[in-house]
Structure 1
């Protein structure tokens, strides 16, 4: 399975869980991509903004993520670096709790759900667990997100569909992607507007 190249830009409106917006820009880099984006939101009466620059290699495996967060409590910044085989550093220090993760997953972002779909290239009927380096929106805490699972189901015309589950959050839904492998509909969280 192959995907079309990503567009120069994409945007999502966040729904239900928060009110907000995300805008992202894709730039080719060393056979992979540099992805620059920003998410702003109001969630449970708290405002926050998260800026990110994420580098992925040609297989869409995360290699580096620079994340800056702002809220009424102040500004924070964190940098994640990965060797592409599942070893990570957070702000320069080894992060063995992330061993085996190949993707960064930003709590604030619908876009980062593109990484495992591109990287795995699952056939219809196939599924895979996808542990990730999970970055919280409010304070940029980096945690291991285990038990995520993606399973590809039959396409709906040009749209690719995946059953997604994150049992640690008690959450499951059907994600719909476009021909570029970007989320169009993330029930309860976001919808693509561009």
Structure 2
């Protein structure tokens, strides 16, 4: 469908990605029916191993309301009011004002949030800044991002042009609105 963005099917209960090129490893995600997502990524990047575990609470329209991210004894908690204001470990972070998504550096799954939330028609572009959680330190910072809806591919899968200050690529999504191919980073391993 090349007109308005089609409605995505309800997400599967579990999904996995194989991280490749930039890092080698896996991400596994479990999606609860009440919009809680739990996942973990374990990988090796630049010769260093890492593991990140997370739980993210979403509204039915894919707005992040909270996230707990942990790695080897460190943990960070994010709470969002749904109107674009955030607390990180209980402290207000004004630099995140206007942000509706969390994006984990270690995750391919979190690129589904703005795609679902924005419901862009083909040719539309939208800024989608995110509360970005670094995989190494769990520091939280604002990440400017932009998504442009492209025409579907020959198999009817959704395509988006993705831009951030450090990366620009085309992302391919499945019928659930989950990334199939994240060039140089990950590809879907299982649903």
TM range (shorter): over 0.9
Correspondence for 1:151 among 134, 148, 162: 148
1:67 pairs with 2:39: no
1:31-110 matched pairs, under 5 angstroms:
33-70=35-72, 75-110=73-108
Residue matched to 1:124: 122
Say which SS state the counterpart of residue 95 (structure 2) adopts. Answer: helix
Unaligned stretches of 5+ residues in structure 1: none
Say which SS state the counterpart of residue 12 (structure 1) adopts. Answer: strand
Residue matched to 2:3: none
2-side partners of 1:180 and 1:105: how far apart?
A: 18
Per mean C-alpha deviation after superposition, the further-off stretch among 151-160 and 14-23 is 151-160
1-side partners of 2:116 and 2:137: how far apart?
A: 28
Deviations 1:33-66 (A, max 9, x none): 1100000011111111000000100110000000
State TM-score, norm by structure 2. Answer: 0.95
1:114 pairs with 2:116: no
Runs of at least 4 residues of structure 1 off by over 6 A?
none
2-side partners of 1:42 and 1:18: how far apart?
A: 6
2-side partners of 1:57 and 1:191: how far apart?
A: 26
State the Cα distance separating 1:158 from its structure 2 match: 3.1
2-side partners of 1:165 and 1:93: how far apart?
A: 29
Residue matched to 2:14: 9
Say which SS state the counterpart of residue 24 (structure 1) adopts. Answer: strand
Correspondence for 1:165 among 163, 166, 174: 163
2-side partners of 1:18 and 1:137: how far apart?
A: 12
Say which SS state the counterpart of residue 111 (structure 2) adopts. Answer: helix
Structure (1/2) with the larger strand percentage? 1
Residue matched to 1:24: 29
Say which SS state the counterpart of residue 21 (structure 2) adopts. Answer: coil
1:193 pairs with 2:189: yes
State the Cα distance separating 1:85 from its structure 2 match: 0.8
Aligned residue-pair number: 184
Unaligned stretches of 5+ residues in structure 2: 1-5
